[in-house]
Amino acid sequence: MATLVSFDPADGQPVGEVPITPVDEISAMVARARAAQPAWAALGPTGRRDALRGAASRMIEAAEAVGLQLTREMGKPLAEGVGEVRYTGKGLIEELDEMVEAFTAEVVEDAYTRSEMRYDGLGVCAAITPWNFPFSMPHWMVLPALMAGNTVILKPSEETPLTGQAYVDLLGADLPDGVLQIAHGADAQGKALVAADVDLIAFTGSRAVGQSIMAAAAGRLTRIILELGGKDPLVVLDDADVASAARFAARNSFRNAGQVCVSTERIYVDEAIADRFVDALVAEAGKMKVGHGTEDGVRIGPMVNQRQRAHVLRQLAAAEADGARRLCGGEAGPGAFLQPAVLDGVTHAMDIAREETFGPVACVIRVADDDEAVRLANDTPYGLGAIVFGGDEARAAAVADRLDAGMVGINRGVGGAFGTPWVGARQSGFGYHKGIAGHRQFAQVRVISRSKPKPGKRS
């Protein structure tokens, strides 16, 4: 049987392998999932929660081992790899309880009618997940899909199959056969799954692939949930705390080697403070140790592979040729390493200001005032996240209100309180995740109505 080998992006050494799922087996997997779905749905939200809750302790206990494997497979620092697994396990029980609430029927009444709003499974869900958070991103899709009463086939990224397999093994240990399956492979397996007789496709990845999935799903009107690319802006107002803004910009531009859907990819800085901000940003970049994720003190590991690094290097070279100034970083080391880079003098005529980079690059664009910052920040087809830093919170909030993004942070990142959705606007999203509203994206709303007894008559 053919196997998919996973390599350490730091040194190119093999980490492990999994069997590739033959394309002609995908339809049989869907059939098994469909056969298992009625009994799984019949358990109801609380029964499904009880079948899944044992995974919490398994994930926490396995966090060190799976986190190390994740780091070796994808490159992120070990503390972040272990933390990703442990955080998923620690939050599982609270998430399950929230999902019971999301999928429990609600009663709506008026003078004449009693209606029950149900949130039922759609059937079989195909979940296609990325490599940048290879344990937590499957969880965002698989868990609500299962709790809604669907059965699930997960296709993890071919870059991180070992972590995807570990997730399925840990979550699915107590589940009936056919409820949760995994398909390993690359484009061929993903396309076969999209084309199969599934009822819902949940995907996180690039805008281009999302567009192709949407087109393929249109023929059967298959439900879709898409979290796509981003080109997130950070607006730094002239009254911002420069040191705090620079620290955040460095962390959010370079974390996970810039391979985060809400990485800061464009920084609009008022020219009145731009020189101070750029100096502080370069200083922060210089503090970030680059190296193998298992080494002490490393804050930036390698990029996921040399192809992704080559894309970033091409964007950097093109920006410099067009007049941007590279103030630090951009050097390519062995393996897939890339030193964090700061570019000043970036304009919207440059590819690096318009197309997703997904690498450790901070692009600074100087602006004359708040209006120019908002106009340029919104000059993109994307709309996942956006951030504003400013001293006057009312002014910063007024700027935030004008930014066309699904999530906006003021003097902080975009993540909201527990229970709020993770949602993109424009071409960054179709449907969304998290919170009760996000969980219900994985369900079919059904309204069952009965007439109420007329006054004076016995029911």
Q: ∠ at Cα 429 (374, 52), nearest 5°?
A: 130
Position 20, amino acid: I
Q: Which CATH superfamily is domain 232-410 in?
A: Aldehyde Dehydrogenase; Chain A, domain 2 (3.40.309.10)
Q: Which residue has the tokens 């272990």?
A: 82
Asked if 261 is an active-site residue, the reply is: yes
The pTM is what? 0.96
Return all residues near 317 (Cβ < 8 A) that are at least 6 apart: none
| DSSP string of 246-262, one letter each residue | HHHHHHHHHGGGG-STT
Q: What is the pLDDT of residue 143?
A: 98
Class in CATH terms, 3-227+419-448: alpha beta
Active-site position among 80, 227, 265, 356:
227
Instruction: Please state the φ and ψ torsions of residue 138, each to the nearest 5 degrees.
Output: -55, -40
Tokens of 289: 């140790």
Quote the CA–CA distance of 5 and 141 in Å, as a whole number. Answer: 25
Q: Which strands form 151-155's sheet, in the order they lie side by side?
A: 180-182, 151-155, 124-128, 200-204, 223-227, 429-430
Query: Structural domain boundaries of the chain?
Result: 3-227+419-448, 232-410
Quote the CA–CA distance of 348 and 286 in Å, as a whole number. Answer: 26
Return all residues near 219 (Cβ < 8 A) that are at least 6 apart: none
Asked if 227 is an active-site residue, the reply is: yes
Return all residues near 349 (Cβ < 8 A) that are at least 6 apart: 322
Decide if 203 contacts 209 (C-beta within 8 A): yes
Active-site position among 73, 80, 98, 261:
261
Q: ∠ at Cα 155 (64, 263), nearest 5°?
A: 65
Q: What is the pLDDT of residue 453?
A: 87
* pLDDT tens, per residue, the chain with 459 residues: 899 999 999 999 999 999 999 999 999 999 999 999 999 999 999 999 999 999 999 999 999 999 999 999 999 999 999 999 999 999 999 999 999 999 999 999 999 999 999 999 999 999 999 999 999 999 999 999 999 999 999 999 999 999 999 999 999 999 999 999 999 999 999 999 999 999 999 999 999 999 999 999 999 999 999 999 899 999 999 999 999 999 999 999 999 999 999 999 999 999 999 999 999 999 999 999 999 999 999 999 999 999 999 999 999 999 999 999 999 999 998 999 999 999 999 999 999 999 999 999 999 999 999 999 999 999 999 999 999 999 999 999 999 999 999 999 999 999 999 999 999 999 998 999 999 999 999 999 999 999 998 776 555
